[in-house]
Amino acid sequence: MSSDQDAAEDEPPSLLWGLDPVFSAYARLYVKDLLQMRESRQVPGVYFYKSHPLYQVDVLGTVVYRRERDDFYCYGVDDGTGVISCLCWKEEKWQNHGDSGKTAGGPAGGGFNIEEQLRKLQEAQRSSTVLEIGDLLRVRGCLKTSREQREIQTSLFYKVNDPVMSVQISWMLEMPQLYRDCYDKPFHIPSNELSAGSTELSGFQSVLCQSVPILKEFLKEKEVIRFRPYDVEYLLHPLFQQPAPSTSAQQELDSVQSIIPAQIRNLLKETLKILQEEGEIFRKVLSQDEVYNVTEHDKDLLAAICDILREDCKREKYAEKGCHELHILSSVRQRYSRNLSREALDVALKHLECNSDIISTADAHYTVL
């Protein structure tokens, strides 16, 4: 048996990962550990530090190299143990940023100029996202593997002003304690959860294999544009139907039926998670009102992609090969939804290409007809 297979068998079932508080937190790990962690065989994009599953990280380090593109900066961050690339997306308002210092002069008499103060505030905000080699950078984001290289796709990043190194010293003192108290301690699954998980996992996976195509077929057949979980929950009820009981079994059935609603909600949650990972659905806005958009039927999303390609392919830079998928993703996130995943964009691009609205000109490059 290979070492990868051994590692996969050592992983706890993915349904139990949520019991580990590290999984839902931004893990503060040394860069050397981020570069060496193994990726899960069950769920790509999740990594294991010893027995702890994680995918979100928090890193503080010095910028040692810097590359700039139209849509993002790529910073190399060194925390003293290693260097990792951090992909930091630009805000649309900072792209093609001109000379922000050219503004109208203040009013006569030196009175308060709200435009000048706003300009200073915006410039301070912009400068916190533009770093040079030697600056101290803090990043939070998801750990990814791209072209066999480990990197962080950031959701938050900013320059840290630390003239007397107080932030760095505090960080270095906290890290060993976090390792001792949390990361180096094994992830223990409660015995009742482990026994229940081992006996019910295969049955749950079997039902999950049925629920995903059921929901996919419904969304396709009804041409659903958006929905809430309670709109489709009833579709999964038949998967938990029980045979009619005898009178002597009525009490036992009542006990089972009290558990079924929770099982259905858990099944629906996992089904929606799989559809999101496949890009079939996405959440345009993250709010308490849990609304999912169906990627192929979201006309506004499809129109936004076509508009971006129509406009940007007129520029000399994109006229020949078209726009790269990452450029399209950045533009759509700025114009339509910051929560759109790359998987959802792939589904939308394939749908548009099948309908002959766009064409692929090269590897991951697209243009309009």
* Stretch 340-358: mean pLDDT: 93
Q: What whole-number distance in Å separates Cα of residue 94 and Cα of residue 129?
A: 9
76 lies in some domain:
yes
77 lies in some domain:
yes
Per-residue pLDDT of 95-132, as tens digits, reads 554 444 444 444 545 567 888 877 777 777 667 678 89
Q: Residue 103 has what pLDDT? A: 44
Are residues 126 and 215 both part of a single domain?
Answer: no
124 lies in some domain:
yes
Per-residue pLDDT of 279-292, as tens digits, reads 999 999 888 889 99
pLDDT surpassing 80 at residue 198: no
Are residues 48 and 89 both part of a single domain?
Answer: yes
Are residues 306 and 169 both part of a single domain?
Answer: no
The domain boundary residue, chosen from 183, 210, 228: 183
Are residues 238 and 258 both part of a single domain?
Answer: yes
Are residues 252 and 154 both part of a single domain?
Answer: no
Are residues 45 and 137 both part of a single domain?
Answer: yes
Are residues 205 and 269 both part of a single domain?
Answer: yes
Q: Are 101 and 343 in contact (CB under 8 A)?
A: no
Q: Residue 267 has what pLDDT? A: 87
pTM for this prediction: 0.54
Q: Residue 259 has what pLDDT? A: 53
pLDDT surpassing 60 at residue 9: no
Q: What whole-number distance in Å separates Cα of residue 159 and Cα of residue 135?
A: 7
Closest CA to 53 of 69, 42, 64: 42
Q: Are 112 and 178 in contact (CB under 8 A)?
A: no
112 lies in some domain:
no
pLDDT surpassing 60 at residue 318: yes
Least confident of 69-78, 186-195, 214-223, 301-310: 186-195
Are residues 168 and 197 both part of a single domain?
Answer: no
Q: Which domain holds residue 303?
A: 292-368
Computed over every residue of the chain, the mean pLDDT equals 82
